[in-house]
Amino acid sequence: MILSISGVVLLGIIVFIFFRKDGLKGSHAVICALFGFYLASTAIAPSIKAGGASLAGLLGGIKI
Per-residue pLDDT 10s for the chain (64 aa) are 455 667 777 777 888 888 788 787 888 878 788 778 888 888 888 888 888 889 888 888 888 7
Query: Is pTM, for the whole model, over 0.85?
Result: no
State the pLDDT at residue 4.
61
State the pLDDT at residue 1.
47
Answer for the pair 3, 53: CB distance below 8 angstroms, yes or no: yes
State the pLDDT at residue 60.
84
State the pLDDT at residue 5.
64
Break the chain down into helix, strand, coil percent, rounded to 5. Answer: 80, 0, 20
